[in-house]
């Protein structure tokens, strides 16, 4: 293993690549939607660096947080605020700037704008106004957690991204029942002050044998990625008080297969799925969705859903 990369050589490579990226096509009157580091400042890509440097203005979720990133990378582009409380007004301002031929970059605090972060409203407004939107991909907490967990594969790459769980217990449990009934890993975010409550609800909804990946402080110095049964999650947190601190991505693994291809409507996973769907859908639509998910006959699922609806 090469432990010592020659700094002089690295500088030459960097300069050559930076010049190459800077010489690419950077159209004006364009919104650049730029993914930024989720923790490690070194994860900003060359193309993202150039997009931020060449922009006339950067619309940021938190201008103070973004200024720290820009200072670290030597970027002096001015900042304007574009967060969830002013997004409609910010979208109008950005469209006016594009009309003047400006390049505008859009960033969130960390990761990809408009993905569980403000920005989607701005993107829709810009597209509706007929201007170009150029996504500049980069760091993502969702993809980082999936990469570190091994929960997906090329044979079965499916997963679902659920975002943040509701803050109130009853709504959170209903939400978890719906998402965790899916036959695929479910990725969600959680804050440190609600982590214990969410883990308790997951244990109640999914049972102790269901596997969970806890990914905390991704790309940062104290990054941890642990996979364990839900029955052990509380003990894992209690083993080290630092484990309850930071930013969290949780991956609820798909329920283990029983090995029986002829799963019937009385299968516990099917019951959980029907009950979750009935919270928001009619009996007819519940049977329709459940049939697509499970591959079971719709008429059989309809009869079971109707019985469970009438029994509540």
pLDDT for residue 89 is more than 90: yes
Assess contact for 212 and 253: CB atoms under 8 A: yes
**What's the CA gap between 191 and 198, in Å, rounded?**
10
SS3 (DSSP) at 15:
helix
CA distances from residue 250 to 114, 156, 226, 228 in whole angstroms, order as listed: 20, 19, 10, 11
Inter-residue contact 82 to 106 (CB < 8 Å) = yes
Looking up tokens 């049972």, which residue turns up? 207
For the ranges 136-145, 167-176, 228-237, 288-297, the lowest mean pLDDT is seen at 288-297
> 3-class DSSP state for residue 172?
helix
CA–CA separation, 66 and 89 (whole Å): 20
With CA atoms as reference, report the closest residue to 140 among 110, 170, 161.
110
What is the arithmetic mean of pLDDT over 254-276?
70
pLDDT for residue 155: 83
pLDDT > 70 fraction of the chain, expressed in percent and rounded: 94
Interval 95-130: pLDDT, tens:
999 999 999 999 999 999 998 889 999 999 999 999
Question: Which range, 11-20, 91-100, 168-177, 275-284, is most confident?
Answer: 91-100
Calculate mean pLDDT across residues 85-103: 97
Q: What is the mean pLDDT of residues 29-41?
A: 97
CA–CA distance, 190 with 297 (Å, rounded to integer): 36
In the predicted structure, residue 1 carries a pLDDT above the cut 60: no
More confident residue, 203 or 7: 203
Alpha-carbon span 41 to 68, nearest angstrom = 10
Average pLDDT over residues 1-17: 73
157-190 burial, b if ≥16 CB within 10 A, otherwise e? Answer: eebebbeebeeeeeebbbbbbbbbbbebbbbbbb
Segment holding 161, helix H or strand E: strand 160-164
């Amino acid at each position: 293993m090469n432990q010592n990369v020659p700094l002089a050589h690295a500088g030459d490579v960097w300069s050559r690549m930076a010049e190459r990226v800077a010489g690419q096509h950077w159209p004006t009157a364009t919104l650049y939607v730029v993914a930024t580091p989720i923790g490690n400042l070194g994860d900003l890509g060359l193309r993202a660096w150039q997009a931020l440097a060449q922009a006339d203005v950067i619309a940021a979720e938190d201008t103070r947080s973004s200024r720290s990133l820009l200072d670290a990378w030597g970027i002096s582009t001015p900042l304007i605020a574009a967060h969830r409380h002013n997004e409609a007004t910010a979208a109008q301002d950005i469209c006016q700037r594009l009309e003047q031929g400006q390049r505008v970059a859009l960033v969130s605090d960390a990761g990809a704008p408009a993905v569980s972060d403000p920005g989607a409203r701005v993107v829709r407004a810009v597209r509706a106004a007929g201007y170009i939107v150029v996504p500049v991909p980069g760091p993502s907490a969702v993809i980082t957690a999936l990469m570190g967990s091994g929960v997906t594969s090329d044979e079965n790459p499916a997963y679902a991204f659920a975002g943040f769980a509701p803050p109130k217990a009853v709504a959170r449990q209903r939400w978890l029942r719906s998402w965790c009934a899916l036959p695929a890993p479910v990725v969600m975010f959680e804050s440190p002050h609600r982590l214990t409550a969410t883990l308790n609800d997951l244990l109640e909804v999914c049972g102790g044998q269901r596997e969970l990946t806890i990914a905390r402080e991704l790309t940062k110095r104290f990054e941890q990625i642990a996979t364990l049964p839900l029955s052990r999650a509380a003990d894992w947190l209690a083993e080290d008080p630092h484990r309850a601190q930071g930013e969290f991505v949780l991956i609820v693994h798909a329920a283990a297969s029983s090995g029986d291809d002829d799963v019937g409507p009385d299968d516990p996973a099917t019951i959980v799925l029907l009950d979750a769907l009935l919270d928001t859908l009619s009996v007819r639509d519940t049977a329709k969705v459940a049939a697509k998910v499970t591959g079971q006959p719709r008429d059989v699922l309809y009869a079971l859903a109707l019985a469970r609806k009438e029994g509540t």
